[in-house]
Homo-oligomer: A and B are copies of this chain.
Amino acid sequence: MIRIGIIGYGYWGPNLVRNFFAADDCVIKSVAETRSDRLLHLQKTFPSIKGFKDASDIINDPEIDAVIIATPVYTHFALAKKALSEGKHVLIEKPMASSVMEAQILINLAAQKKLLLMVDHTFLYTGAVEKMKQLVDEEKLGTIKYLDSTRINLGLFQPDINVLWDLAPHDISILNYIIAEEPYSVNATGVTHTNNRIENIAYLTVNYSSGFIAHFNCSWTSPVKVRMMLVGGDEKMILYNDLEPTEKIKVYDTSYKHSTNEERNSVLVDYRTGDIHVPKLATTEALLGMANNFIRSIMGVEQPRSCSQLGLDVVKILEASSKSIKNSGCEILVEPIDKKVNSQFLKAVV
How far is B213's CA from A46's CA once the two chains are assembled, in angstroms?
Answer: 47
Within the complex, the shortest CB–CB distance from A17 to chain B, in Å, comes to 13
A329 within 8 A of B: yes
Closest to A201 in B: B146
A182 within 8 A of B: no
Q: Which residues of B contact A196 (CB under 8 A)?
A: 260, 266-267
Q: Mark A234-246, 1 if CB is under 8 A from B, else 0.
A: 1001010001010
Chain A interface (Cβ < 8 Å from any Cβ of B): 47-48, 145-146, 148, 150, 152, 154, 156-157, 159, 185, 187, 189-196, 198, 201, 203, 205, 207, 211-213, 215, 217, 219, 221-225, 230, 232, 234, 237, 239, 243, 245, 247, 250, 252-254, 256, 258, 260, 264, 266-267, 269, 271, 273-280, 328-331
Q: Which residues of B contact A269 (CB under 8 A)?
A: 156-157, 194
Q: Which residues of B contact A152 (CB under 8 A)?
A: 148, 230
Closest to A276 in B: B278
Determine whether the beta carbon of B217 is less than 8 Å from that of A215. Answer: yes
Determine whether the beta carbon of B223 is less than 8 Å from that of A187. Answer: no
Which residue of B146, B222, B260 contacts A191 across the interface (Cβ within 8 Å)?
A: B146
Q: Which residues of B contact A207 (CB under 8 A)?
A: 189, 191
Within the complex, the shortest CB–CB distance from A119 to chain B, in Å, comes to 26
How far is B204's CA from A215's CA once the two chains are assembled, in angstroms?
Answer: 11
Closest to A196 in B: B267
How far is B148's CA from A252's CA once the two chains are assembled, in angstroms?
Answer: 26
How far is B273's CA from A239's CA once the two chains are assembled, in angstroms?
Answer: 21
Known A266-B159, A267-B198: A273·B154 in contact at CB below 8 Å: yes
Closest to A247 in B: B276
Determine whether the beta carbon of B159 is less than 8 Å from that of A195. Answer: no
